[in-house]
């Protein structure tokens, strides 16, 4: 069995990748053991100081490669709003930090809705970049989900900006979808499926 580290401590993300791997190819799922940072005893909060999703994902994956010498992948995601010059982007998790909150989704949504008040162009997209360092090679996989910023919150599921993001072609927000529905069209779902396809062809 090949060990591959997913440089995150977000259990939800690990389970999602394991499930997608199994769904893609049951035999393949038996070839790879997907380990979390916790599984390899890494308790460091790996810095994400890059100016792009790719840089941040690479930073995390490289940290594991350098310190543990294991094949590894990492992801970074965020929300890009056209009328705000693609903000909050890499700052999505800490968008409202400057107003005294820390990684607070409610404060982030309040700030975004305020900045979008009276703004007609509501177009936005979620983007995920996954960087994989495997067998001495660096690969990158991207997933984008287009949609728009609503004028108020709706729905209770999901996380982050889900209650104020309505994906293209839908009348409901991400927070009104089941996890399976969301994974089927989401930025992360798309990027992870590309990663899984690659792993299938490059065991
Ligand atoms: P890590 O520990 O793996 O870094 P994270 O919570 O920081 O997990 P991401 O880097 O994937 O997650 O995303 C950064 C922020 O972008 C996240 O805190 C949310 O505010 C927002 N975001 C990303 N994906 C989202 C999604 O599917 N729905 C709503 N908000 C999302």
Set 39, 45, 71, 76: catalytic member: 76
Are 49 and 61 spatial neighbours (Cβ–Cβ below 8 Å)? no
d(CA 77, ligand 1 centre) in Å: 6
Q: Note the pTM of the prediction, 2 decimals.
A: 0.92
Which of 45, 92, 141, 155 maximizes ligand 1 atoms within 8 Å of its Cβ, making it the mutation to test the pocket? 92
CA distance 129 to 127: 7
Residue 201 has phi, psi (to 5 degrees) of -90, -10
Q: What is the CATH number of domain 2-201?
A: 3.90.950.10
76 among known catalytic residues = yes
d(CA 24, ligand 1 centre) in Å: 24
Question: HSE of 69 in the Cβ direction (CA atoms, 13 Å)?
Answer: 0
CA distance 21 to 27: 9
143-189 confidence digits (pLDDT tens): 999 999 999 999 998 889 999 999 999 999 999 999 889 989 999 99
Q: Sign (positive/negative) of CA torsion 23, 172, 103, 132?
A: positive
Burial class (CB in 10 A: 0-12, 13-18, 19+), 167: buried
pLDDT of residue 14: 87
Q: How distant, in Å, are the alpha carbons of 40, 43, 46, 72 from that of 9?
A: 11, 9, 11, 13
d(CA 142, ligand 1 centre) in Å: 15
Residue nearest to atom 19 of ligand 1 (CA): 160
Residue nearest to atom 15 of ligand 1 (CA): 93
pLDDT of residue 17: 84
Q: How distant, in Å, are the alpha carbons of 98, 127, 170, 187 from that of 146?
A: 27, 9, 11, 9
Of the candidates 1, 16, 5, 12, the one whose C-alpha atom is nearest the C-alpha of residue 132 is 5
Around ligand 1, the residues with Cβ closer than 6 Å are 8, 10, 13, 76-79, 92-93, 126, 158-162, 174, 186, 188
Say whether 93 sits in a helix, a strand or coil: helix
Of the candidates 154, 144, 146, 139, the one whose C-alpha atom is nearest the C-alpha of residue 197 is 139
7-38 confidence digits (pLDDT tens): 987 887 888 788 888 887 777 778 889 999 99
Strands (E), 152-197: 165-167
94-133 confidence digits (pLDDT tens): 999 876 666 789 999 999 999 999 999 999 999 999 999 9
Residue nearest to atom 30 of ligand 1 (CA): 160
């Amino acid at each position: 069995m090949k060990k591959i580290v997913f440089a995150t401590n977000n259990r939800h993300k690990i389970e999602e990748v394991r499930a997608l791997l199994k769904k893609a190819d049951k035999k393949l799922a038996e070839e790879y053991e997907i380990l979390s940072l916790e599984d390899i005893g890494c308790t460091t909060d790996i810095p994400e100081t890059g100016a792009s999703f790719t840089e941040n994902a690479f930073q995390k994956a490289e940290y594991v490669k350098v310190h543990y010498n294991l094949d590894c992948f990492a992801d970074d995601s965020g929300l890009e709003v056209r009328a705000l010059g693609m903000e909050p982007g890499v700052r999505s998790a800490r968008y409202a930090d400057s107003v005294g909150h820390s990684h607070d989704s409610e404060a982030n949504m309040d700030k975004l809705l305020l900045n979008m008040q009276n703004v007609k162009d509501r177009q936005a997209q979620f983007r995920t970049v996954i960087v994989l360092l495997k067998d001495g090679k660096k690969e990158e996989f991207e997933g984008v989900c287009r949609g728009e910023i609503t004028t108020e919150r709706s729905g209770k599921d999901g996380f982050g900006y889900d209650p104020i993001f309505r994906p293209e072609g839908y009348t409901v927000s991400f927070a009104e979808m089941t996890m399976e529905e969301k994974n089927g069209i989401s930025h992360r779902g798309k990027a992870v499926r590309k990663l899984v396809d690659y792993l299938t062809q490059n065991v």
